[in-house]
Amino acid sequence: MIYDVIIVGSGSVGAAAGCYATINNLNVLMIDAHHPPHNQGSHHGKTRLIRYAYAEGDRYVPLLQRSKVLWEALEKTSATTLFRRSGVLSIAPIDSPLIPKLVDSAKTWSIDVETLTASDIMQRWETFVIPQEYHGVLDKDAGYLYSEKAVEQWIRLAQEQGCAQLFNCPVESISHYDDLYRVTTADGDYTARKIIITAGSWAKKLLPDLPISPVRKVMAWFQSDGRFSHHTHFPAFTAQLTDGSQYYGFPAEEDQLKVARYDGGQPLNDATECLPFGQYPTDGRECFTFLKQFLPGQSACLFGQACSHDNSPDGDFIIDYLDEDKTGLVISGLSGHGFKCAPALGEIASQFAMGNEIETIISPFRLTRFDKS
């Protein structure tokens, strides 16, 4: 049997790609080393931020706008709540370029934001303590997504539409011959006309030249109360501190406030090195400095989880062809900010599988940007 497309890695982007390609009547085989959703990749820990004013660059905005539409459609089709519009409040020192960049992005793309002084923030959310040399911007339509639930729905919808799924079965190698791709797994070999590699942090095992560096990251949940809940309009947030460290968090659910540090982490060579939360002395305390200063009502760390980022050299996504015939595609290097764009990235992958034009949208993300001039 020759599939139209094999998807190697069916986590965030691969699950979306498999779902959209199947809905578009392709004969699809989705493969994963585990059974998505799971806690061995980059999509667990319950929630992910989605924000629209994007300091990371204008090239992301079409992906974000398309994702917004596709998130809404997925919520409707699956009859599942996947998004909470809590707003995302970004806080940074006045001399940091971050807030002006967010305001510029909002102006260019007509995104509904509100700029706030430190006093404005403390007046609106009494739980925040913001030094006067900070300011912020509230991205009003932004919020957070339930990441594992979303992956679960894409997998379910794909399966219901007749997609073949081979889970708990790692791909060992990939070869390209006679216009076909052959994928070797512990379960045997599979063949397809096209291949999409969406193996997250472990794509490098299959594509050794891919310039990505896996990094272990942790998320922690702190004992909280109703003042920090989305029911009382506490926002999701990001915070950049004067020492350059970056934190983010989510409104409390069940009196548990999730906070994490964006920068730092432990470099990984292999998935087995991604040790569980609590195995490094810094795991439970890396957010303490931020919490003590900005959200002093928080105290005990209840539990945590470890996850991995697949960092590219410049922190930007990698989307590129694998071969000159343009029959293979890799999407990786999402560098800790890719979940919100998973629907658009999955759609791009499915368009590629159908033979449709994707050149324009992927051009800023191709590997040629790393070529030395």
Ligand X SMILES: Cc1cc2nc3c(=O)[nH]c(=O)nc-3n(C[C@H](O)[C@H](O)[C@H](O)COP(=O)(O)OP(=O)(O)OC[C@H]3O[C@@H](n4cnc5c(N)ncnc54)[C@H](O)[C@@H]3O)c2cc1C
Residues in the site for ligand X, rule: CB under 6 A? 8-14, 31-34, 36, 40-43, 45, 48-49, 170-171, 198-200, 202, 205-206, 217, 219, 260, 307-309, 332, 334, 336-340
Nearer to ligand X, 45 or 284 (CB): 45
Instruction: Return the beta strands (E) in the chain as ranges.
Output: 2-8, 28-31, 47-50, 83-84, 88-93, 113-117, 134-139, 143-146, 164-166, 171-177, 180-185, 188-197, 213-223, 236-240, 246-249, 256-261, 266-267, 301-311, 318-321, 328-332
CB of 236 to ligand X, least distance (A): 8
Q: How far is CA 124 from CA 89, 116, 121, 358, in A?
A: 11, 10, 5, 44
- Report the nearest approach of ligand X to the CB of residue 119 (Å): 28
Closest CB to ligand X among 6 and 121? 6
Q: Which residue has the tokens 């303590």?
A: 129
Comparison of 135 and 309: residue with beta carbon closer to ligand X: 309
Q: Which is nearer to ligand X, 118 or 277 (CB)?
A: 277
Residue with the shortest CB distance to ligand X: 11
CB 260 within 8 A of CB 233: no
Residue 284: CB atoms within 10 A of its CB come to 18
Tell me how far, at minimum, the Cβ of 127 lies from ligand X, in Å. 21
Q: Which is nearer to ligand X, 117 or 191 (CB)?
A: 191
Q: How far is the CB of 365 from ligand X (least distance, A)?
A: 13
CB of 369 to ligand X, least distance (A): 19
The residue (of 113 and 210) whose beta carbon lies closer to ligand X is 210
Shortest Cβ 373–ligand X spacing (Å): 29
Beta strand pairing status for 134-139 and 113-117? antiparallel
